[in-house]
Amino acid sequence: MTTTAHAPHSQSREDSRSNPRAFRPTLWGVAGRCVLAAAGMMACAMSPALLEFVPGFTDWMTSLESQPLGPTLFFASLATLTVPLLSAGVLLSIVVRFSRLSWRDILGHRTSGFSAGALLATTAAAAVLTAAVIGILSAAGVDADRAADPGTAGVPLAAVVAIGLARAFLLQGIQEELWFRGVAFLGHKSRPWLVLGATTVAFTALHLTSTGGQQSTAETLLYLVLPLGMGFWAGVERLCTGSVWPAIGVHGGMHTGTIITALAGWPMGPGAWVGVGSAFVLAGLVRLMTTRIGGQRKARRPLPIQFG
């Protein structure tokens, strides 16, 4: 009598990976991953609050903040801004450990040299575009009723740039893109437009809770144009390059551009939100029209995490 041996779990996993058509993400599946990304992103964003449970930390930071900016406060501020990124590393490691997801799935299948170059290129492009749009609008008198960011007054230039870049990338850009253009973007090779559209909408809606200077319900809605444009362009970069690093550059580059505008004394209000967001949408569309989308090629492996 012939018996049939059951393949071990690891072997069956490899067999399923060898069939690139074994998985096509559904709308509900993409929605589930967007919920996971939103939960992870919010948890990481709120993680610095955990430092308040460290005995004496709050009193120590309060005493430092009551004094002029010095080396201790500077490095303490930078250390605090790294907490969301460290939290993302821990949470994503848990996701990887208990799923069929790998870090390569999140980061993309690209070399380190390409990733570094793409990160720098999109950071520069997004920063220049942001500063240029706000500068033009400021010269035209748009948002003239809004005060410029006073946070840079009396602070050394090097400290403004260092803390600004830490906020742009460590606090926001890297961890948010790892979730939305990393985890939530899985399956983009099979259904690129579904994934791009769903993640952009989810990323935009999540910013309903953001506080960017909105003074009314109408301004809250106008503010959403900014994350809409940023999320769209970042998603397009992930589609075009297959890597999350250009998306991180778009995200961090936008915030880097606001460092320039703050130093220049240019106000940022509804006009700037709509202007920069619209410019980012246009940049994403130009990128789509001039680059072959990697998602049009057949996927090499099925999606590691499935939500329906």
For the stretch 40-65, pLDDT in tens is: 999 999 998 888 777 777 776 677 66
Compute CA distances 38 → 31, 184, 243, 270, whole Å. Answer: 10, 9, 20, 25
pTM for this entry:
0.83
The more confidently predicted of residues 2 and 242 is 242
C-beta of residue 230 within 8 angstroms of C-beta of residue 282: no
Q: What is the mean pLDDT of residues 279-294?
A: 90
- What is the pLDDT of the chain when averaged over all its residues? 83
The confidence band for 183, taking pLDDT boundaries of 50, 70 and 90, is very high
| pLDDT value, residue 243 | 93
Rg (CA), the chain: 21
Tell me the per-residue pLDDT of 94-138, one tens digit each, with 9 for 90 and over. 999 988 778 888 998 777 788 889 999 999 999 999 999 999 999
Find the length of the chain.
Answer: 308
pLDDT > 80? residue 90: yes
Question: Taking a C-beta distance cutoff of 8 angstroms, is the pair 83, 43 a contact?
Answer: no
What is the model's pLDDT at position 5?
45
The pLDDT of 167-196, averaged and rounded, is 92
Which is it for the CA torsion 277, 279, 285, 288, positive or negative? negative
Distances in Å between the Cα of 203 and the Cα atoms of 2, 73, 169 are 55, 33, 17
Mind spelling out the 3-state secondary structure of the chain?
Answer: CCCCCCCCHHHHHHHHHCCCCCCCCCHHHHHHHHHHHHHHHHHHHHHHHHHHHCCCHHHHHHHHHCCCCCHHHHHHHHHHHCHHHHHHHHHHHHHHHCCCCCHHHHHECCCHHHHHHHHHHHHHHHHHHHHHHHHHHHHCCCCCCCCCCHHHCCCCHHHHHHHHHHHHHHHHHHHHHHHHHHHCCCCCCCCHHHHHHHHHHHHHHHHHHCCCCCCCHHHHHHHCHHHHHHHHHHHHHHHHHCECHHHHHHHHHHHHHHHHHHHHCCCCCHHHHHHHHHHHHHHHHHHHHHCCCHHHCCCCCCCCCCCC
Contact between residue 208 and residue 224 where contact means Cβ atoms under 8 Å apart: yes
- The Cα 290–Cα 105 span in angstroms is 25
Confidence band (pLDDT; 50, 70, 90) for 12?
very low
Between CA 256 and CA 271 the distance in angstroms is 19
Please state, in angstroms and rounded to a whole number, the distance separating the CA atoms of residues 172 and 128.
19
Q: Which of 185, 158, 179 is nearest to 85 (CA)?
A: 179
Binned at pLDDT 50, 70 and 90, residue 68 comes out as: low
Residue in 261, 238, 250 with CA at minimum distance from that of residue 123: 250
From the list 189, 194, 281, the residue with the least C-alpha distance to 238 is: 189
